[in-house]
Structure 1
Amino acid sequence: MTRLFWVRHGPTHAKSMVGWSDLPADLSDTAQLARLDAALPPDALVVSSDLSRAAATADAIAGSRTRLPHDPDLREIHFGDWELKRFDEVEDQDHIRAYWDNPGDIRPPGGESWNDVTARVDRAVARLIADNPGRDIVAVAHFGVILTQLQQALKIGAYEAFSHRIENLSLTELHWDGAGWTARTINQNL
């Protein structure tokens, strides 16, 4: 069995769609980081997205755990032309509504669809499991990344997955038994 402990990076305090922009995380809540670190298996491997907000969060909770190289396939959704815009700043309101209301093949201009993100993250997770069979893995990533995996574990549609909150510095624990995923904890705040 492989246990994945998904951690969402520390807050950026941005009030817009932040995908591939490399904004730093606010890691000033050292007490919460310490509680998160204590809740994670001491012998787990730690991996993160290559974006600094995830990498810095992973470094803050890694402790003596083995740190794997950053994985760009664990990046957030690529919002393309919508990057760093608020929902109401996007000119084509029908397009952005369709993107969030019917997640699947709809893409932001120059960005990724939900199905693109899911395929990219699935590749990363399959690679992690194949390279580290039976190991506990702490993966520090982003809202959309974690939701792609939660969708599979809960066997729900993308729209239903979006109804879940994944807060900054929260823990979502998923187990892989070789045949499928099971969700153990979702959005646990410590």
Structure 2
Amino acid sequence: MTVIYWVRHGPTHEKTFVGHRDVPADLSDTAQIARLSAALPANALVVSSDLARSIDTATALQGTRRRLPHRIGLREFDFGDWDGLHFGEVAEKWPDLSRAYWENPGDVAPPNGESWNAAAARVTADITQVAAENPRRDIIAVAHFGAILTQVAQAAGIAPYRALSHRIDNYSVTEIQMRPTWGVARINHVL
């Protein structure tokens, strides 16, 4: 069986959309990081998106675990022209599009960004490849809110809108069984 332990990176303290923009994580809560690292399987492989907030969180959790190369496919959604803007600014400038983006996630995308379906396909393909290259190994995947939610939807067989109702806190663990079949063991487990 392959289990993916999805961990959301440490907090960025950003109050705007943060997708592919590379901002650092605040890793000052060393006690929280230690609790999380101790609770994750000691023999799991560690992989992360290629953005600094995930790389640095994965490095803090790694310990003696073997590290796999960073993966561009595990990045957060590409918010395009919305990246760096406050949610209110987006709603004001693109009222119909921003409403549709949250209420009907699927093929709706921000200007010059990507849709839920595009991000979900990217993340699923990338983590499936990681699992195939490392059969029967547990994997700790340090990634982002949206990337993790795409995998919740995939594993639970739920619509994107329903997946968006779940919280994914910083340093939380979302455990997804990938093989032999997809399934969700827990979502947003915080230690």
| 1:44 shift after superposition | 0.5
**Any idea what SS the aligned residue of 1:3 has?**
strand
Aligned counterparts of 2:29 and 2:153: Cα–Cα separation in 1: 29
2:43 corresponding residue in structure 1: 43
In 1, the alpha carbon distance for the partners of 2:103 and 2:163 equals 11
Q: How does 1:22-171 map to 2 (within 5 A)?
A: 22-90=22-90, 91-171=93-173
1:177 CA drift (Å): 2.8
Match of 1:185 in 2: 186
Deviation for aligned residue 1:172: 0.7
Residue deviations 1:17-73 (CA, integer Å, cap 9, x gap): 100010000000000000000011111000000000000000000000000000000
The reply on whether 1:16 has 2:46 as its aligned counterpart is no
Hey, what's the Cα distance between the residues in 1 that align with 2:74 and 2:24? 16
1:116-170: per-residue Cα shift (whole Å, max 9, x none)? 0001001101101110010000000000000000011211100000000000000
1:172 pairs with 2:171: no
Quick one: distance in 2 between partners of 1:29 and 1:20? Answer: 24
TM (norm. structure 1) is 0.98
Opposite residue 108 of structure 2, the aligned amino acid is: I
- Secondary structure of the residue aligned to 1:187 is strand
Task: Provide runs of 4+ in structure 1 moved above 6 Å.
Answer: none
The one-letter code matched in structure 2 to 1:78 is: D
Uncovered stretches (5+) of structure 2, i.e. residues with no partner: none
SS at match of 1:64: coil
Identity of counterpart residues, as a percentage? 58
- 2:5 alignment partner, SS class: strand
Helix, strand or coil: the match of 2:56? helix
Secondary structure class of the residue paired with 1:7: strand
Gaps in structure 1 of 5+ consecutive residues: none
